[in-house]
Structure 1
Amino acid sequence: MARIPTAPLILGLAGLIPFVWGAATYVNSPLASWGAEALGPRFVGPYVQLFYGSVILSFMSGVLWGFATKTTGARAATGYALSVIPALWAFFMTGGGPTTAAMNLIFGFLGLLVLDFAFSQWGLTPRWWMSLRVLLTAVVVACLVITVI
């Protein structure tokens, strides 16, 4: 795996803050109380994770769409079709309560990692892409698992 450039690494890690914060406030009641009072109740526990997770899956659909533009023909058409799956998954699968939504986000992020791998194998991503995506996905899934258990 290739070395991740500094800017994408720092920005990617910063993007984990809502997931880590959500997990921390889920397991720490005093922190959750402080967060709810200071930031509002939707910015603590599973609420912040679920909303932000849906946003990120949708964002990643756009990233994959951008990668699909780097090819042509049937591969491009396949890339475009696959790129919409994370956003549709987030839209249709994050209802039904926090536990179900968190489980579906876990499956969504793991599925996204499979799509990342496919786009990487097709040579459409930077060489360091999978190094970044594996790291970020591992943290996101770990944080969401805390909400599920």
Structure 2
Amino acid sequence: MTQIPRSALILGLAGVIPFAWGALTLLSDAASQWGMDILGPRFIGPYVQLSYGMVILSFMSGVLWGFATKAKDGQAATGYALSVIPALWAFFMTGGGPVSAGTNLIFGFLGLLVLDFAFWKWGLAPAWWMQLRVLLTGLVVLSLSVGVFL
């Protein structure tokens, strides 16, 4: 495997911050109160995790779409079709309350990892892609699990 570029790793880890912050505010009354006072209720607990999770799944659809542009013929059509799944999943599956939405986001991110693997295996993603995606997906799923299971 190829080493993850430093900028991609740093920016990817920074992208986990809202998920981790949401988990922290669920686990810590002090963090939750500080977040409520300084940031407002939209930016604590499951609210920040769920809204940001929808954004990130949609963003990742765009990333996969970009990978699909490198494919040819039928593989390109398949790549384009697969690339829209995370955004549609986020749109249709994140209602019904925080536990249901959080659970569906977990499944969405795990499904995205399967798509990441397919695009990587087809040679459309960078050599280091799966190292980064496994790390980030693990952190996101762990953070979302706080709201779902605790």
Instruction: Report the TM range for the smaller structure's normalisation.
Output: over 0.9
Residue aligning to 1:28: 28
Q: Which amino acid aligns with 1:96?
A: G
Q: TM-score, normalised by structure 1?
A: 0.99
Residue aligning to 2:75: 75
Q: TM-score, normalised by structure 2?
A: 0.98
Residue segments in structure 2 that go unaligned for 5+ positions in a row: none
Q: Deviations over 1:83-135 (max 9, x none)?
A: 00000000000000000000000000000000000000000000000000000
RMSD (CA atoms): 0.5
Q: Which amino acid aligns with 2:15?
A: G
CA distance in 2, matches of 1:119, 1:29: 41
Please state whether the residue corresponding to 2:115 is helix, strand or coil. Answer: helix
Residue aligning to 1:41: 41
Q: Which amino acid aligns with 2:14?
A: A
Task: Quote how far apart the aligned CAs of 1:30 are.
Answer: 1.5
Please state whether the residue corresponding to 2:103 is helix, strand or coil. Answer: helix
CA distance in 1, matches of 2:6, 2:145: 28
Q: Which amino acid aligns with 2:58?
A: S
CA distance in 2, matches of 1:141, 1:71: 30
CA distance in 2, matches of 1:109, 1:79: 17
Residue aligning to 2:103: 103
CA distance in 2, matches of 1:43, 1:8: 25
Q: Which amino acid aligns with 2:39?
A: L
CA distance in 2, matches of 1:2, 1:105: 29
CA distance in 2, matches of 1:2, 1:137: 18
Task: Quote how far apart the aligned CAs of 1:49 are.
Answer: 0.3
**Structure 2 residue 120 is the aligned partner of structure 1 residue 120:** yes
**Structure 2 residue 55 is the aligned partner of structure 1 residue 87:** no
CA distance in 2, matches of 1:49, 1:70: 32
CA distance in 1, matches of 2:30, 2:128: 39
Poorly superposed stretches of 4+, deviation over 2 Å: none
Q: How many residues align?
A: 149
CA distance in 1, matches of 2:2, 2:95: 37
Percent identity over the alignment is 70
Residue segments in structure 1 that go unaligned for 5+ positions in a row: none
